[in-house]
Amino acid sequence: MTRAVDYQAWSARVRSLHQALRRLIPLGTSLGVPPPSGQEWYDLLERKLLPQLEAPPLLVVGVVGGTNIGKSLLFNQLAGEVASAVSPFAAGTKHPVCLVPPDAADPQLLATIFEGFTLRPWRSAEDALEASDENLIFWRVGKNVPRRLILLDAPDIDSDAKVNWQRARAIRQAADVLLAVLTQQKYNDAAVKQFFREAVQADQAVVVLFNQCDVQADREFWPVWLATFCAETGARPELVYVVPHDRAAAASLTLPLYEVGSDGRRPLGPPGNLREELASLHFDAIKIRTLRGALRRVLDVARGLPAYLAAIRAAAEEYRTAYAALSATEMARVAWPSLPPRVLVEEIRAWWDDARPRWSRNIHGFYRTLGQGITWPIRRIWQRSATQDVDPLAAFHRREREAILLAVEKLLDELTRLSQVGNATLRPKLLALLGGAAREDLLHRVETAHQNLPDVDEHYRQFLRAELDAWREQNPAAVRLLRSLDHVAAVARPAISVLLFISGWHVAGDLAGQAAAQAATHTVGQLAQEAVIAGGIAGGGEALVSGTTEGVRQAAGRLFVRLQSRYAQQRAAWLAGWIEQELLGGVLEELRRGAEVPEHTVFQEVATLMESLA
């Protein structure tokens, strides 16, 4: 009972493996990994394991061999009737002929066992000679076929016609026992050896028949032929027969078959009955052996399913490498310039101004406007006398533009490199991005997009205000002090404004301008302390706070650095989004999906089932 339950669980896992593989193959194909159909391991899974796990207990016996060696003749001898025409021409048998016992006369069953063939009812022995591009198999009930046995005559395994040996290969994959028909001329043929080498690797039972022998003159040679055949293929034949060259006996289906032992050296005795020998083979042992052998080929590390999964992993790694190299976020990871403190100061002032009482906000706003009006002529003269690069915001725009162009150039260079080394699936996708004047056009478009980009967008403004709100909550004492000084400054605003203007503190009219002018000689922390928070969040020259603690100064410095860093991140994110939308489009998403195939549930399912079957 335990064996039956285990076998059912095992066969269920094989079926599940096949179903999962069917779902995995399109994912592998999308990465450029060829589908495994046509590979030995996959064909054994589809043509051997699946059909025969579902079928009732039958032993499939195929008569196989090279051209013009009497395969069809021996097939008829074994069947006890002429079911397959004997042709004097090479590659005469073009389609398999199948004889079944009465209890296996089920077309649906046979279609399952012989996956890839179209079943046709047998009409005459000439059917096998029919020329057709379709893979046909002609079948009928055999008069003398033993119970639980299916007999097949296969096309030549070394035919010049490729379709013939492909059909013979498919029959080999479906068979449990192979009757290897050999001759003095064919036992060491390269195509013959390769055919049986693959059969041995699948642990299929082999019965050797040396045909067209001179039983007297060749007696000392067939043991040598057998030893060479076994050494070259790894075969360990279940039975070995010698068949004499006797045309009359062949025509009357009375050819004697002499069993000569596993080494070919047994003295000739009375002729044996191969049909009865096949019927008496250890059916269960051979069936389990061939199924296990087929599964071993499926699980072969070098040439089976593990190798197929390894190929998918390798292709996915190429996609992962390309995705990492082309990731817009990575491309935008450049030395981004720092935002001029003046811009942050303006935003911080607006935040502080919103928290003022209305009366204070009105007074500060009036005198800020008045102060800027008074100092306008002086600021105008200063701007005329300064070079273009002295304007911090203009210099920032220039440096940011250079950083963006550098990032895009880097991306295009990486695209070019990957288009030369990528796999056959990846290469055309990348080349399509580089055609024509793509480089010049992209650089022009990104430059135009940058010119239309606002210095501070609403998303960053929300982040900045959230950070400032958090800072206010963490530093209540400093905020109370600043507010009290701010209120005093509002009352005394006219006197302070005149004093500041006359003393020359603010040529530009506010602390932000002074902070920007001193940027070349101040650290970020100093600017944060002196120009933003600790230097007077009230802004506009209303108050200069110098009595805050060192802890508050450090907190202000960290906050300022955080605001600058987040600004650079958001600008880089803008560039990343622009690159993905304008250049990479769906390619980046396709690369990402390709890179993630080994993590896909169906890949993991196949790998898990493979492990359980191993």
Instruction: State pLDDT tens for residues 400-444.
Output: 888 888 888 877 777 787 777 766 667 777 777 777 677 778 888
User: 239, 232, 175: which is closest to 202 by C-alpha?
Assistant: 175
Residue 368, both tokens: 């800020």
Residue of 154, 150, 138, 146 lying closest to 58 (CA atoms): 150
User: What CA–CA distance (Å, rounded) separates 464 from 567?
Assistant: 9
pLDDT in tens, 347-376: 777 777 776 666 555 555 544 554 455 444
The pLDDT tens digits of the residues spanning 53-87 come to: 777 778 899 999 988 888 999 999 999 999 998 86
Check residue 45 and report its DSSP letter: I
- Comparing CA positions, the residue from 155, 216, 217, 157 lying closest to residue 187 is 157
Strands (E), 373-491: none
Q: Give 536's pLDDT tier (boundaries 50, 70, 90).
A: very low
Top pLDDT among 509 and 127 is at: 127
- For residue 560, the one-letter residue type is F
Q: Write out pLDDT tens, residues 371-388.
A: 455 444 544 554 555 444
- For the segment 271-316, what is each residue's pLDDT rounded down to a tens digit? 988 888 888 877 777 877 888 888 888 999 999 999 999 999 999 9
Task: Identify the CA nearest to 339 among candidates 446, 456, 447.
Answer: 456
